[in-house]
Amino acid sequence: MRFALRHLARFAISLAVLLVASFAMMHLIPGDPVRASLGPAAPVEVAEARRAALGLDQPIPAQLWAYVRHVLTGQFGTSFLTGEPVGEVIAARLPNTLALAVPATLVALLVAVPLGMWAGVRTENGRRRGTETVFGTVTGAAVAVPEFLYAIAFVAVFAIGLGWFPPAQKAGPESYVLPVLALAVAPAAMIARISRAETLRELAAEHVRLARAKRLPAARLHVRHVLPGTLAATLTVGGLLLTGLIAGSVLVEYVFAWPGLGLRIVESITQKDYPVAQGVILVYGAIVLTVNFAVDLLLGVLDPTSALKES
């Protein structure tokens, strides 16, 4: 309970900092957001009336309090350009972003964990140097390539060249394949490298040596005695990668013209639609903090000893 309460307190403090930072974004970005929305030719009276309607003529503490109060009640303001409530924009676009990020995370985990364990078992005690070299080279190169380059390459090869999948837009189940793979390749390579390192560490542990001494079958040894020890690091990285995929989907969504939050935030920044950008960044930050909080609690459940030591 102390472990959970401590992490809950950290989560609450982080959310408070996120609220203040997202509020400050409107005031720190160069330029006048009212002038940006109305245009430089708008009369002074119109600009002042718009500023008063938005509450921007109030003292900063009063603006901050009003902003926090509105966010806590689900009111993120309205778009400067379309007049839509920002909450409705987020509600309409967020499921499309999660529809890419969550499957990409699952694909990365399902591919990378077995691949990393296989590489760890094959290269134990310095055996099969060729396998180790190929594994390290391929995964290292895969990690180094940004997601949007995978997206461009997949479109060029599989959509335009071979015609197997649609090149853009959300048009059916087949339209998910390329953006999900573009998001999953680099995280899968990173998780595979970590999974291999954790597998090698577990294979050298005393409890695994004891299990080997009992002549357990290899499959049972690896699944029951090696795999659980690798899950803590894998889940930690998987949670971080999920949050990274949600934020990193911005350029991938742009390449595929995917109707998610990533594409919308690019449009809002280029068009100086500050309330939408502010709301999307706030939601992204809240998702990152929530996922990290959930991963911390899950790791505490999987490894109660470390949770007791921390509390």
Question: pLDDT by residue for the chain (311 residues), tens digit each?
Answer: 777 787 788 888 888 888 888 777 766 666 666 666 666 666 777 666 766 766 666 777 877 787 777 777 777 777 777 777 888 888 888 888 888 888 888 888 888 888 887 887 777 666 777 777 888 888 888 888 877 788 888 888 888 888 888 877 777 788 888 888 888 888 888 888 888 877 777 776 776 667 666 676 666 666 666 666 677 667 776 666 666 666 667 778 778 877 777 777 777 777 777 778 778 878 877 877 887 777 777 767 766 655 555 55
Return the pLDDT at 217: 67
CA 187 to chain centre: 11
0.75 cut: is pTM over it? no
- With a CB cutoff of 8 Å and minimum separation 6, the contacts of 36 are 80, 272, 274
Q: DSSP assignment, residue 257?
A: T
Return the pLDDT at 238: 67
Q: Beta-carbon neighbour count of residue 232 at 10 Å?
A: 16
3-state helix, strand, coil in the chain (%, to 5): 80, 0, 20
281 in Cβ contact with 40 (< 8 Å): no
Domains recognised in the chain with CATH numbers: 95-274 (1.10.3720.10)
Q: What's the chain's Rg over C-alpha atoms?
A: 24
